[in-house]
Amino acid sequence: MVETITLSLPAVDVLGAHLKLDVRRYPFEIPPPRETRRERDELARQVWGELESTGLAVAGNPEPEVADALYLMCSSEVSIAAAGLLDVRNGQRLAARAVSTGEVGLLGVVTPRGLQLDFMDPGALPEVCARLLPQAPPGRGKPVRVPVELLRARARGSAEGQHADPTEPELLARAYKYRIGHFVVSGTDEHGGRLRTPGLMWFDTDQGRYLMRHGEPSEGEVLDCTPLDHRGLTAQLANSLARVRGI
């Protein structure tokens, strides 16, 4: 099996139409279809020529590995979407999606060349997604949990909020962040419905890396703020993945 496949974004669109797949999966930004039939036909001609010249298609059909990768990206049992800015100053973006069926995994990352698709061990999703971020030390301090109502009261300027000391999330919200982003972990239940855990928002400051997430419904309306490094982020992603899998 081919381990890595790189497709231009227009090729992803054309292949999606050919395979009858919805390839516009978060956080990928696939260019919209061309307006006229003539423009669409011309784009398709260019794309198929590109695919055949690179050995990714034969006689108007994608190679099996290419079709398998796109089917997997669009119909997985579990997924982790990653989006953000790896460098706030120069606008370097992160747009990636890791998926698994339990037997095979796939990572899709938008690069300057297009969408890079890598097959991988399905058990490696948390580790692979954590590695999308540059290494950073954990932030200072300890994990804290703050009632969301306290943050709302402060935002409203109520007496309750005014008399409370600034919370750790509020202090960190004021800090300069040179990297920032989030992960969305989703799965499919036994009836085919979508399951999703609270989003994991991460950011890097001069003090280190932090992660924030809203509590599960069973935990009440709370906001958790946790200093963490690569190992801690991997563990958080693994926990979220286990919840959508029902483990």
CA distance 241 to 77: 11
CA distance 118 to 103: 15
Please give the residue that has the higher pLDDT: either 57 or 171. Answer: 57
Instruction: Name residues whose C-beta falls within 8 Å of residue 163's C-beta, 6 or more positions apart in sequence.
Output: none
pTM for this structure?
Answer: 0.88
* Sequence spans of domains, the chain: 4-131, 144-245
pLDDT class of 139 with cuts at 50, 70, 90: very high
Cβ(188)–Cβ(102) below 8 Å: no
By CB neighbour count within 10 A (0-12 exposed, 13-18 middle, 19+ buried), where does 228 fall?
buried
Instruction: Name residues whose C-beta falls within 8 Å of residue 209's C-beta, 6 or more positions apart in sequence.
Output: 136, 137, 138, 139, 202, 203, 227, 228, 229, 233
Please give the residue that has the higher pLDDT: either 146 or 216. Answer: 146
Task: Write out the two tokens for 99.
Answer: 């998926």
**What pLDDT does 201 receive?**
95
**What pLDDT does 21 receive?**
96
